[in-house]
Amino acid sequence: MAELQGNEPLEVALASLSVHPQVLVALDFDGTLAPLQDDPENSRMLPESREAVDALTDIDGVHVSLVTGRAFENIMRVADPHPDWFLVGSHGIEVVAPHERDSYASPQLVPEGLLQGFHQIAQDIPGPRIEVKPFGLAIHTRGLEAHVAAAAEAATRLLCDEWPDDLVMRSGHGILECAVSDRTKGHGLRSLWEILDVRATLFIGDDVTDEDGFAVLGSGDVGIKVGEGPTKATHRVADPHEVTRVLWHLHERLASR
Ligand SMILES: [Mg+2]
C-alpha cells in the first residue's frame, strides 16, 4: 500500500481512522471497485472487493456508500448494492438512503432538444454510446478508435457550448458528460455527513470527478486515488485489486476494535 510523498503511511492513516466509533466508507464504483470495461454495462465489482465491502457493512458503526457518476437506477442495476448501502449517484446529485430506495424516483431534467442533439451525434459518428441520466447526458468513447472518440467528443463539446443554458461539462476515463447541475461528489459526501452525523471518512476513487470528493476531506479523513494522475488525495494505490487489499486491511482494524 502506498502513500503520496509527505503523508503518513496508509496503514497508519487507516489505524487512526478506525479509532472513530462511526466511520463512513465512501467508494467510487468504476475503476475503483469494478475494473473499467469498454461497455460500462459490463462493469462488475471484483468478487473479493464485494466480499470485503459486505464484511465492512456488517460492522457496527461503519456506514458504506457508493459514490458514483452513474445515475441511481444505473448503479442499482449494475452494482446490485447491499440493502444497507447509501447510494450517491449522478456525481453527488442523487443521495439515496437505504430506506428511501424503494420509493426513490429519479427526476428527468434533461431538455428534449439536448437529448436530440446527442442522438444526432451518435447517428453522425457511429460508435459512441449515449447514456441518458436524470440530470445530464454522457457520451461513452472507451474502446473506440482515437479519431472516432475525438470527433465524438468535439461534437459534444460544440453542442453543449452552444446550448443556451449553462451546462457543466465533465470528462473522465472514456466518458464526456454534460449536466444541468453543478453538484459534485464533494456535495455528495457533505450530504452523507449531514445525514449520518459522521465525519471520519475513507473515500476511494480513480477519476477526475473524484477529485471533488478528495477536496472536501478533512485532516483525519483518508482519500485514496486509484491509478496514475495528479490528485488531492492523501494516498494512492495502483488498481482495483489493491483497493481490495485496503478494504480488507481496514476491515481487520475495525473488526478488532
Ligand atoms: Mg471511477
* C-alpha cell, 62: 461503519
Distance 19 CA to ligand 1 centre (A): 28
Strands 2-3 and 235-237: antiparallel
Domain count for the chain, please give it: 2
Task: Tell how far the Cα of 44 is from the centroid of ligand 1, in angstroms.
Answer: 12
With vertex at residue 71, the alpha carbon angle to CA 172 and CA 251, rounded to the nearest 5 degrees, is 80
Q: How far is the CA of 118 from the centre of ligand 1 (A)?
A: 23
Residues 165 and 198 in one domain: no
Is the same domain home to 17 and 55?
Answer: yes
Burial state string for 151-179 with b = 16 or more CB within 10 A and e = fewer than 16:
bbbebbeebbeeeeeebbebbbebbbbbb
Boundary-marking domain end, from 127, 158, 179: 179
| CA separation, residue 72 to residues 93, 95, 206 (Å) | 10, 9, 19
CA 147 to ligand 1 centroid distance, Å: 24
- What is the distance between the alpha carbons of residues 83 and 96, in angstroms, rounded to a whole number? 12
Q: Are residues 164 and 217 in the same domain?
A: no
Ligand 1 center to 57 CA (angstroms): 21
For the entire predicted model, the pTM comes to: 0.91
15 and 80 assigned to the same domain: yes
Q: What is the pLDDT along the chain (257 residues), one digit of tens a residue?
A: 666 666 799 999 999 999 999 999 999 999 999 999 988 899 999 999 999 999 999 999 999 999 999 999 999 999 999 999 999 999 999 999 999 999 999 888 999 999 999 999 999 999 999 999 999 999 999 999 999 999 999 999 999 999 999 999 999 999 999 999 999 999 999 999 999 999 899 999 999 999 999 999 999 999 999 999 999 999 999 999 999 999 999 999 999 98
Residue 257 Cα to ligand 1 middle (Å): 30
Residue 174 shares a structural domain with residue 187: no
**135 and 215 share a domain?**
no
9 lies in the same domain as 134: no
Q: Which domain holds residue 83?
A: 2-105+183-255
Taking the centre of ligand 1 as the mean of its atom positions, its distance from the CA of residue 64, in whole angstroms, is 17
**Are residue 86 and residue 118 in the same domain, yes or no?**
no
158 with 86, same domain: the answer is no
CATH of the domain at 246: 3.40.50.1000
